[in-house]
Amino acid sequence: MNRDDPRNASRDRLLIAVGGNAIHPEGIRGTSEEQMQVAAEAAGYLLPLLQQDNELVITHGNGPGVGKTMMRQVLARHRVAPMSLDICVANTQGVTAYILTQAFENALRRVGNPRHAVGLVTQVEVDPADPAFTHPSKPVGYFYNESEASDLVAEFGWEMKEDAGRGWRQVVASPEPRHVCDISLIDALARRGTIVIAGGGGGVPVVRDHLGVRHGIEGVIDKDLTSAHMARVLGIPQLVILTGVSGVSINFGRDDEEQIGRIGVTALRRLRNDAHFPAGSMGPKVEAALRFVENGGARAIITGLEEAVPALAGETGTHVVPDAAL
């Protein structure tokens, strides 16, 4: 099949949301070599999908990267001017896209596949009146003691909150994604068969004035919500959210823990409303899966990176489907 042909109905169309730990898991220092190695391992798990003649869009988290960028700003603040948070998100988005692009293409070349990948620094419009801007709640960066936190508030104007006795962390706004800028470019590249890496870290948050001029705004958009939004706008029928566990569980960490297999949106929404999925971990992923399927998606899968391929074959993972598909 000619990759320059317009969209072919026989092609699989897929959006995969890769967690930030795909290149920066806990337990590593985060050197360039470590991140390249971890990304190469991720590419190995995804290689069967990378080799297919499909339309493939990949998003990624960048939480660990943003945290380290913020720490560098604190440590170097007397020598180097600090950057605003939107610039930090763009910075880490570009770095992560570079690492993943290289890892994917290297994995493909080793098996003789000439397919290309491209990374796009993606802006995502948000509403400047989003309540998240007056009630920042998303923790980013490292833990500080109370004295350090007070100094950062005075020097940077950061909002800091104590986190369950572990120390103080910066909290920022996490607005809802409204529009992915240049979504038509993502669509065109995917139609041509290029692996498109976009929407990293939820995208760089921007607002647009009455003239259509965009301006960055400080915040961090949830990567999974942006992924669900992108998949819906692009008309992609399947969303795969990759995380650190093989699926979604109820009663997580208890003796009666039970992993969910195939579930309809009504039942999952009920569990979500009953607070089974914490906001700081599985909650946003479940919410993203629900929004995607409730707005016309055929299937959302939540599973581990290592299990992406078997999950798509129905062998593992949590599969969220329309009630009518049960």
Catalytic center residues: 20-21, 138, 223, 285
Q: How many helical (H) and strand (E) elements, i.e. helices and strands, does the chain have?
A: 9, 17
Structure tokens at 249: 């569980």
Phi-psi region of 36 (alpha: psi -120 to 50; beta: other; left: phi over 0): alpha
CB atoms < 10 A from the CB of 112, how many?
A: 7
**Which residue pairs from 140-143 have beta carbons closer than 8 angstroms and sit at least 24 positions apart in sequence?**
140/63, 140/66, 140/67, 140/70, 140/169, 140/170, 140/171, 140/172, 140/220, 141/66, 141/67, 141/70, 141/71, 141/169, 141/170, 142/67, 142/70, 142/71, 142/169, 143/167, 143/168, 143/169
Q: Which residues contact 160 (CB under 8 A, 6 or more apart)?
A: 144, 149, 152, 153, 168, 169, 170, 171
Q: In what order do the strands lie in the sheet with 168-172?
A: 138-144, 168-172, 160-162
Find residue 197's DSSP bridge partners: 58, 119
